[in-house]
Every structure is written in C-alpha cells, then in structure tokens.
Amino acid sequence: MAKLHVSTTINGEPVEFLCEPNDTMLDALRGPLGLTGSKEGCSSGDCGACSITLDDRLVCSCLMLAAEAEGCRVGTIEGMAKGSKLHPLQQKFLEMAALQCGICTSGMLVASEALLKRNPDPSEEEVRFWLAGNLCRCTGYDKIVRAVLEAATEIRETAQ
C-alpha cells in the first residue's frame, strides 16, 4: 500500500511527512519526524508518556493515527520551552525534584500544561484527577502535584 502524505503543524512549524495508514501519531513523531521526546510506555493509552496536544486538546499520540494530524496543530514536549527559556512547569519540575528517571516527564509536562491552559488555578484534587492518565512509577506523584501547583501560582502571578 502506498504511504500517505500528511501536512500538519508541529510546535508552530509547518511539517509534511509520509506514513503508513496504520502508523500511530507516536510512530510518526518518533520515526520520520525524529521527535523522540514523546515516549512509548504501553501503546494502549494507559500510561500517558506519549501525551501531545492536538488543536489544544490533550491526547495520547499512541491512540491516534498519524494521518489524523492532517491540517491540525500538534504540540509536543519539544515545543514547550521558548528557545532556551524553560516553561515555568519545566523549571518547577527541576527545582522541586518532580522527576526521577524522567521517562514519564514529557507526558506529565504536556498534560500539566494542557490543564493549566483550561484551569489556571486548579486544586490539588483537580491536578490529581487530570494527571490520573499519566503513570509515574518513581515519584509517588507527590512532588509532581506540588510542582504543578507551584507553577500554576507562578504563572498566575506573572500574568497579573
């Protein structure tokens, strides 16, 4: 079967790529697009390590066909920092030791950014339920939740 041609926007850049009809978006990102920041932990949508945004909606890229990116805006971990300036979430994750091995970190950050865009002032419970689709086996989530709450505070204060 011939490959499909897909035109999309990734992290603000127009991008074209070829994929098999049954390739997932995660396959395309990690393969031809060379964006290996999104990780594959399960390929069943349970671990969230492959989290990306599709037109600002948080999705597991392992559950989405690559061809579905046609005409959409895709956001990945690689687009989170602005040049050499880290996003406040990235900075707080570092300052508060909210990562250990780092394999879930990309997905956690992408999911947390999507949360704070919808809800700039989440409660601890709202953070916990939003991130319930992102597995972390190292941290017990404590420092991740704290880092997200701290980053939210900082972003709100900066915006004022």
Q: How far apart are CA 40 and CA 38, in angstroms?
A: 7
CA dihedral for 120, 121, 125, 126, sign (positive or negative)? negative
Q: Compute the least distance from the CB of residue 64 to other proteins, in Å.
A: 18
> Judged by CB under 8 A, does residue 63 bind other proteins?
no
Token pair of 16, please?
A: 């074209």
Q: How far apart are CA 131 and CA 144, in angstroms?
A: 10
Q: Compute the least distance from the CB of residue 139 to other proteins, in Å.
A: 5
Phi and psi of 21, rounded to 5°? -60, -30
List, in sequence order, every residue forming a beta bridge with 11; answer none if it has no partner.
none
Q: Is the CB of 4 or the CB of 42 nearer to other proteins?
A: 42
Q: How far apart are CA 59 and CA 110, in angstroms?
A: 10
Q: Is the CB of 19 or the CB of 136 nearer to other proteins?
A: 136
Kindly state the number of chain residues that form the binding site for other proteins, as judged by CB under 8 A.
Answer: 56
Token pair of 62, please?
A: 């392992």
Burial of 77 (0-12, 13-18, 19+ CB in 10 A): buried
Please identify which residue in 4, 63, 80, 153 interacts with other proteins, judged by CB under 8 A: 80
Residues 140-159 that bind other proteins (CB under 8 A): 140-146
Q: Is the CB of 62 or the CB of 160 nearer to other proteins?
A: 62
> Judged by CB under 8 A, does residue 4 bind other proteins?
no
Q: How far apart are CA 134 and CA 145, in angstroms?
A: 12
Q: Is the CB of 18 or the CB of 132 nearer to other proteins?
A: 132
> Judged by CB under 8 A, does residue 90 bind other proteins?
yes
Q: Compute the least distance from the CB of residue 114 to other proteins, in Å.
A: 14
Name the residues that contact other proteins, by CB under 8 A: 30, 35-44, 46-47, 49, 76-78, 80-81, 86, 90, 93-97, 99-106, 109, 124-125, 127-129, 131-146
